[in-house]
Amino acid sequence: MSLIKSEDSKKWINAFVAAVSAICGFITIRFFEQLGEWFDLEAKVPNFPITVQVVGIVVGLIVFMSIVKNKSASTLLEDVYGELVKVVWPNKDDVLKTTVGLVIALSIVSGIFVLIDYSFRQLLSLIL
């Protein structure tokens, strides 16, 4: 059973590209704010906070438009989405059983390591 549908591809691809663009804009804003702190640009540039916000928004829009207009990037994202639609996701019971099995297995392995560590500590304390 697939959680996503092939007819929703354009919506999800655009949402992903928008999220990437927002992250790029946020990183740009944080970068320029850090530059402002390092070089005291708040005092030198009038309306520095507004300028930084505008630059971040413009960078985000440029990233969005460049990805959307780039044919190879759009094709790649459509191919990735097409492969993602083919994924068969496990149901809740399978996930729960696997999680419980992993927790039990990790507990056993960590217990073995604790016993080995304790044994070596006791052995070293007898020798030294």
The least confident of 1-5, 8-12, 73-77, 79-83 is 1-5
Given this model, what pLDDT does residue 60 score? Answer: 97
Q: Is 18 exposed, middle or buried (0-12, 13-18, 19+ CB in 10 A)?
A: middle
Q: Report how far residue 48's alpha carbon sits from residue 45's, in angstroms, rounded to the nearest whole number.
A: 5
Given this model, what pLDDT does residue 84 score? Answer: 87
Do 34 and 74 belong together in one domain?
yes
Q: For residue 50, what pLDDT band results from cuts at 50, 70 and 90? A: very high
Question: How many domains would you assign to the chain?
Answer: 2
The structure tokens listed for 5 are 């549908």
Do 14 and 38 belong together in one domain?
yes
**Mean pLDDT to the nearest integer, 62-86:** 93
Q: What's the pTM value of the predicted model, to 2 decimals?
A: 0.68
Do 6 and 66 belong together in one domain?
yes
Q: How far is CA 98 from CA 93, 104, 107, in A?
A: 9, 10, 14
**Mean pLDDT to the nearest integer, 20-32:** 97
Q: How far is CA 12 from CA 2, 77, 120, in A?
A: 15, 10, 55
Place of tokens 């930084």: 52
- Which domain, by its residues, includes 126? 90-128
